[in-house]
Amino acid sequence: MLKKAIVQIGTLFIMLLMTLSIGLNPITNSFMVEFRGQAEQVMKEESPLYMEILRQKQKFDEDPIDAKIDPVWKAIPGYNGVQVDVQKSYEKMKEDGEYQERKLILGEVPPEVTLDHLPPNPIYKGNANKPMAGFMVNVAWGNDYLPKILKIFDKHQIKATFFLDGSWVKNNGNLAKMIEDEGHEIGNHAYSHPDMQTLSRERIRDEIVRTNQVIDVTLNTTPELFAPPSGSYHNEVVKIAREFDMYTVLWTVDTLDWKKPDPSQMADRVVSKVEPGSLILMHPTASSADGLEQMINGIKQKDLQIGKVSDVLSERRKTK
């Protein structure tokens, strides 16, 4: 009761000062502004609404997670934390005078360590706290099955990442353009589908550079992700890719579609292994074309969003 009375007296005093403030000297005005700010803060903290937002803040706030090098999974991306903006939430709710969870203003808090801070390492998966998975489609052949795969992705409004072989792009510019026009992400899959770990440093650079060049000429885009053919690499491959501002990406779950598995059995196996942060490797094959929709539906039933590889690897909680 005493504190409430003090707040009321303070309010009256502020009103009096505001009435008398005209003509006061700058020092007096400065004191009045500071006192008013302090009194308003006291009144706000006495508000049941403000205090309730502070209590709820503890429930919603989460610390960010730093990127790290895992001994098995290599580079693991970080994940943004979340924090309630108490002031903005209060301003949004105070007109109604009651707490409404839907009006909470949440902001993302970036981690101190991101993938950019880590030494070059391959990436096999996203952060396990991010409820998202992504398809990575490696393309060096399989033209007959691409239209069906693109149609299914479009039906479900899903964007994937297509890692394109450079020589394939050179010979199939129209199909490459079709993939990009659908809004899918374009990655580098080397130029001639070589075994990257057997190549000299010069050949590694050549495979990456030539592919970037033909993709740039054909699609006017520069890949930010590199997928070594057959998953074959060594540290020098990863370092060179990073020199060209690309992360080396492998996979968490393999469809093994090149073995021509039964589409339904393949889909069941893949879905059973998919977890938050999973990257799913596939190719334009009959098995993947026929089993893709089943995989998509199964992943959605796990309450996972499906998106591009860059979205899965991003620290952001929300994707565009």
* CATH number for the domain that contains residue 138: 3.20.20.370
79 and 151, same domain (yes or no) = no
Domain range holding 74? 57-119
How far apart are alpha carbons 299 and 276 in whole angstroms? 10
Provide the domain count of the chain.
3
Asked if the model's pLDDT at residue 193 lies above 90, the reply is yes
Q: How many CB atoms lie within 10 A of CB 69?
A: 11
Q: What is the C-alpha separation between 134 and 26, in angstroms, rounded? A: 61
Residues 62, 203: one domain? no
Residues, the chain:
320
> Looking at residues 179-201, what average pLDDT do you find?
98
The one-letter amino acid code at 73 reads W
Q: Note whether residue 149 is domain-resident.
A: yes
> Residue 17: which pLDDT band, with cuts at 50, 70 and 90?
very low
Neighbours of 240 (CB within 10 A): 21
For residue 100, pLDDT over 60 is answered with yes
The rounded mean pLDDT for the chain is 90
Is it the case that residue 6 has pLDDT exceeding 50?
no
At 1 the pLDDT is 46
Residue 160 and residue 179 share a domain: yes
The 10 Å CB-count burial string (b at 16+, else e) for 31-68 is ebeeebeebeeebeeeeebbeebeebbeeeebebbbbb
Indicate whether 69 belongs to any domain.
yes
- 229 and 134, same domain (yes or no): yes
Per-residue confidence (pLDDT) for residue 114, from 0 to 100: 98
For residues 221 and 232, state if they share a domain: yes
Q: Do residues 103 and 179 share a domain?
A: no
Listed range (3-12, 127-136, 154-163) with the worst mean pLDDT: 3-12
In one-letter notation, the amino acid at residue 46 is E
Domain membership flag for residue 318: no
- Are 133 and 103 in a shared domain? no
Indicate whether 286 and 164 sit together in one domain.
Answer: yes
Instruction: Please tell me the predicted confidence (pLDDT) of residue 320.
Output: 53
Residue 52 lies in a domain: no
Question: 140-172 pLDDT, tens per residue?
Answer: 999 999 999 999 999 999 999 999 999 999 999
Query: For the whole model, what pTM was predicted?
Result: 0.84
Domain match, 91 and 235 both: no
Residue partners of 220: CB distance under 8 A and separation at least 6: none
Distance of CA 228 to the CA centre of its chain: 22
Split at pLDDT 50, 70, 90, the class of 46 is low
